[in-house]
Amino acid sequence: MVALENMGFVANMVSLVLYFWLKLHFELSDAANTLTNLMGSAFLLSVIGGFISDTYINRFHTCLIFGTVEILALVLMTIQAHDEKLQPVPRGKSSGMTGRPAVMFYASLCLLALGSGGVRGALPALGADQFDKKDPKEAKGLASYFNWLLLGSVSGALIGVTVIVYISTNKNNNNWWKGFLITLVSTVVGFIFLAIGKPFYRIQVPGESPLVRIAQVIVVAIKNRKLPPPESPSELYEINEKESASTDDNIAHTEQFRSLDKAAILPKDAEPLPWKVCTVTQVEEVKVLTRMLPIIASTIIMNTCLAQLQTFSVQQGNAMNRYLGSFEVPAASIPFIPLLFMIILIPVYELTFVPFARKITKHPTGISQLQRIGVGLVLSAISMAVAAIVEVKRKQQSLKNPLKDPSKDISLFWLSFQYGIFGIADMFTLVGLLEFFYKEAPSGMRSLSTSFTWISLSFGYFLSTIFVDTINAVTKKITPSKQGWLQGYLDENNLNLFYWFLAILSVLNFFNYLYWATWYKYKPEDTNVSTMAKSVSISGVPFLKTAAEDTDETDRQNAEHTEETDRKD
């Protein structure tokens, strides 16, 4: 389902900027901003899908409901791209997007954002739910699941950016409706596959609203702010697992964010009502989510860089030599290079690197999730630096070619360097984030938590729009031409400086991430605190030390203690 749905979704991500620009007559920067706003909205709305699937409807039905909305959006886009009466009339350099065309255009974009966002909020967690973490064999499968999920995604995307993009952009941009139609059909087939699998799925029953549980902790902690803290964490309120209606294990107390512990203080002669006191587990759930926030924030800049590869880099490709022999390569198809790299590298990573690294680190995924994210952030900074260098070369060659003979421009495949490096970065970071948010979140918040990955993408796209508008507004006041860095045609602007700006920002952001990743305390692998002899605070796991190493050390000490006791007996 992921492969079929991503055939169209990723094809749209890389080609819609050309659709807005060439077919709907948007200005260059407006086309880029419209696409980044669309993608930002789609990923932001994944929170709705995650929240609903955790609280009201199970993850399977959430995917089908939002999938129907996504299909409706693609129907509207196909109709508008086919019927010229529903397309805007050019008005100078800007689009005449008014009346019925505007209503249909923005309605389709809103439905597409809502539908695709809702599906992404529930689908990764639905797949991961099929693995039982308490079963050793299935737990190993869970460690590989997100890698194979990404492989399915990029496999479909590779078809999308080659076949669908070629059909859409071929013959003077008159075939966009055919590309949208193929996207529509593949998406429908994907959701049919998902629906057919229902008898085999493990469907998690929705539980209490995670937002209500979070609100209870915050409200009760504020109410109890003047109460003295207990001498021992064991005095904090907790429900015995055998008495709890929930099948989830309790979470051990941690020392971070001690002010939230006051929500678990039960005043004397008070009844343990929901808005009067919270359990330690409930408080720890909020702590886990709070600890995740800096990690989310630290990946936003990388996703801002990703937005450039789907907007300005596509426009770069459109102004380069796109011929491979006699075949003209669509500019929006250039992402097939990193996708091809990823299709090759993901199995190599999973089947070769992970077993090798697992022997050294004892971590089930070879390296920890935060380490994977860190590698991706470094590579994204390198990608932006390479993009700046390539743009300088492209611009210099283009200015030497006043007649704009395509054969004298540099090849489109110069963009493969920045795309390839970022593709590998995305392989590390995206999987690392999905696995990190799923494993670290309480089971009742896993859809909401995995949607944090898409929130980071969303903020990255929105930040791209802010950067483009702000940089244009500032630089047009100081440049001699009174034109912003990113305004006008590529040969007239300073896109390379924008890339350098993002590269420097990415380096600074990596050091910021390094601090928060070192500060972060992993949730223990075994959260069943009822087996502990006494209440303890979970120690932090450093960025360069895996959670499995920490667990193995505890197991070793327990084994030595047991062996010593047996000898005495």
Q: Which residues contact 257 (CB under 8 A, 6 or more apart)?
A: 286, 287, 290
Q: What is the pLDDT of residue 455?
A: 84
Q: What is the pTM of this model?
A: 0.75
Q: Decide: helix, strand or coil at residue 510.
A: helix
What separation in angstroms does the CA of 556 have from each of 327, 544, 560? Answer: 63, 20, 6
pLDDT along the chain (569 residues), means of 10: 88 80 77 83 87 85 93 92 78 62 89 92 88 78 83 89 84 76 93 92 80 87 85 79 54 82 82 83 86 90 85 80 80 78 85 85 82 92 93 87 75 85 87 85 78 84 87 82 74 85 94 92 53 31 41 48 52
The torsion region of residue 325 among left (phi > 0), alpha (psi -120 to 50) and beta comes to left
Q: Give the 3-state DSSP-derived string for 226-263, with helices as H, strands as E and coil as C.
A: CCCCCCCHHHCCCCCCCCCCCCCCCCCCCCCCHHHHHH
Q: What is the pLDDT of residue 111?
A: 94
DSSP 373-422: HHHHHHHHHHHHHHHHHHHHHHHHHHHT-TT--GGGSPBGGGGHHHHHHH
Locate tokens 């995917």: which residue?
A: 63
Domain boundaries, the chain: 2-205+285-519, 210-284
Q: Which CATH class is domain 2-205+285-519?
A: mainly alpha
What separation in angstroms does the CA of 89 have from each of 13, 25, 85, 174, 394? Answer: 24, 8, 9, 15, 32
DSSP 413-461: GGGHHHHHHHHHHHHHHHHHHHHHHHHHS-GGGHHHHHHHHHHHHHHHH
- Beta bridge pairs of residue 321: 411
Q: Which residues contact 37 (CB under 8 A, 6 or more apart)?
A: 461, 462, 465
Measured CA to CA, the distance from residue 412 to residue 429 in angstroms comes to 26
Q: What are phi and psi of 529, to 5 degrees?
A: -75, -10
Q: Which residues contact 561 (CB under 8 A, 6 or more apart)?
A: none
CB 479 within 8 A of CB 492: no
Structural tokens at position 135: 């079963």
Q: Give the 3-state DSSP-derived string for 37-97, with helices as H, strands as E and coil as C.
A: HHHHHHHHCHHHHHHHHHHCCCHHHHHHHHHHHHHHHHHHHHHHHHCHHHCCEEECCEEEC
- Beta bridge pairs of residue 94: 91
